Structure 1
Amino acid sequence: MSKLEQLRRRTQVVADTGDIAAIRRYRPHDATTNPSLLYKAAQLPQYRPHLESALQWAESRGGDLAKVAALRLGVAIGIEILGIVPGVVSTEVDARLSFDTRATVEFARHLIALYEQQGVERERVLIKIASTWEGIAAASILEREGIRCNLTLLFSFCQAVACAEAGVTLISPFVGRILDWHQVNNRGTEFTAPSEPGVIFVRNIYQYYKSHSYDTVVMGASFRNTGEIEALAGCDRLTISPQLLQSLDEDSGTLDKGLTVELETRARPSRRLGEADFRFQLNGDAMATEKLAEGIRKFVTDQEQLEQLLWAEATGNRKINATTSSQTV
């Protein structure tokens, strides 16, 4: 039995990709997407029909052609993924809205409406939102409306506590990006998977949530190697790239113990983490502050590149009347 099959017995495996072929090959329970993955997918020939359909739909809707087409493309790929996986797909809110609670809520409602118009129940979609204070506030509103959320770009314990207190469905702590920061800022230090800062971070959140009976799902994300994954075997969910899924599938060794629940004795916080405390604690964590900001910037860049690609495709191959896009090629 491969390590991937052993992992499936202990953890819900999620594919961190928009590559339909990879999803068919590795049969994950769920799948996650983000602007970076959608930008890569839009350049693949197998997604050409989705790209053309999204442009046609955007032309008929008016407004900012590239933004509307990008939104439609993300939903179209999400729907195709849902035809393969038995669980849910995560679709991301525009990262440019990361500090705007109202706009995030409106964008999420629109995303869900697009899925529902295509016959997809909202229970099969997770709205992916950056774990800013404003994003967590938006998720709290959405969860009360029955729109389930995946809070991403999570690097600090205060983010994890605020998400759980807000009642979000799922969080995605980023293991590999935490390691990246520590490798740059601790030159010469050797990290092994079980003792990596990102692995320890996820383990601590997992223990804290289970000890305090939070329903929020912990899904480790952003892995750099299979050792990190093996160290977190037993976590609620792990979202894994096709390359690492392949490595696990080709490894017939024994999967080690991984993560177990050792209940803590700390009392549950008596109140929600307030905005001032949240911002102060996040500010005090240099790694989390830097990686959150960097993650948002990168997602924005990839979103803009996706829109530029769509705009170039439309203006290069079609005669359209759209003039409102701010994109330049």
Structure 2
Amino acid sequence: MKFFIDTANLQQIQEAQDLGVLDGVTTNPSLMAKEGISGEQNVIDHYKAICAIVDGDVSAEVISTTYPEMIAEGEKLAALHPRIVVKVPIIKDGIKAIKYFSSKGIKTNCTLVFSAGQALLAAKAGATYVSPFIGRLDDISVNGLDLIAEIREIYDNYGYETQILAASVRHSAHILGCAKIGADVMTGPISAIVSLLKHPLTDSGLAQFLEDHRKVSQLNSN
């Protein structure tokens, strides 16, 4: 499973890249605003800065909601860097835009997916990635992992090449659940990725090793 980080924070992206497990980045206008990035040129420059850090795909979201505007904005984003993936919402004009981008060889990420039917339409339109928001489903007492399982079954039934990008991942249990089900990608905060390192027996075992080493060193020095 690929690991993407969901942020526009360059320090966090660099931290994940340095960890050696980062495969890509997802961003959106809200994440850009959180980092104080505003204005078209500043946003463009920030995307370029992200692409300079990572080796994998970088999702850049359109803010337009009509087909002609999505095409114009998406083509401009795609031209910024070969790693840019155009992120498009699952609306009627969005599906049309995904079909267009697919025909032009432009990678797409169909976002704000909350049902298997939406994911099916995205795959038929040729989306590179589909992003079901599992954390937001959990927020309304719906099991987000069940949606991942449904999409996986449908895609496997018909051999769709669209990759399932589990989005709105909150914690390590989400990541492991997605990995068991067969999600192709997960995207979440750096905290969720680093949390996979944590286990109390690892901590206690390391503490014991270090204590034993200290005792042996003291004996040798005497």
Q: What TM-score does the superposition give when structure 1 sets the normalisation length?
A: 0.56
Mapped pair 1:170 → 2:129? yes
Q: For residues 114 and 39 of structure 2, what CA distance do their matches in structure 1 show?
A: 28
**Aligned pairs (5 A) from 1:35-184:** 35-42=29-36, 70-94=39-63, 97-98=64-65, 100-113=66-79, 115=80, 120-121=81-82, 124-182=83-141
SS of alignment partner, residue 196 of structure 2: helix
Mapped pair 1:33 → 2:33? no
Distance 1:253 1:19, change over 3 A: farther
Distance 1:158 1:83, change over 3 A: same
Aligned residues: 196
1:249 is matched with 197
> Runs of 4+ in structure 1 displaced over 3 angstroms?
249-254
Q: What TM-score does the superposition give when structure 2 sets the normalisation length?
A: 0.82
Following TM superposition, by how much is the alpha carbon of 1:82 offset from its aligned partner in structure 2, in angstroms?
1.4
Distance 1:252 1:109, change over 3 A: farther
Following TM superposition, by how much is the alpha carbon of 1:165 offset from its aligned partner in structure 2, in angstroms?
0.7
Mapped pair 1:223 → 2:166? no
Distance 1:251 1:139, change over 3 A: farther
Q: For residues 130 and 40 of structure 2, what CA distance do their matches in structure 1 show?
A: 23
Following TM superposition, by how much is the alpha carbon of 1:251 offset from its aligned partner in structure 2, in angstroms?
4.2
Mapped pair 1:240 → 2:206? no
Q: For residues 24 and 90 of structure 1, what CA distance do their matches in structure 2 show?
A: 16
Q: For residues 142 and 201 of structure 1, what CA distance do their matches in structure 2 show?
A: 26
Q: For residues 39 and 251 of structure 1, what CA distance do their matches in structure 2 show?
A: 35
Stretches of structure 2 lacking an aligned partner (at least 5 in a row): 203-222
CA RMSD of aligned residues (A): 1.9
Distance 1:93 1:252, change over 3 A: farther
Mapped pair 1:200 → 2:169? no
Q: For residues 249 and 136 of structure 1, what CA distance do their matches in structure 2 show?
A: 38
Contact 2:123/2:162 (<8 A) preserved: yes
Q: For residues 213 and 82 of structure 1, what CA distance do their matches in structure 2 show?
A: 30
Contact 1:74/1:91 (<8 A) preserved: no
Contact 2:133/2:168 (<8 A) preserved: yes
> Taking every aligned residue pair, what percent have the same amino acid on both sides?
31
1:38-77 CA-partner distances (Å, limit 9, x unpaired): 01112xxxxxxxx6xxxxxxxxxxxxxxxxx633222222
Higher relative contact order (CA 8 A, sep 6+): 1
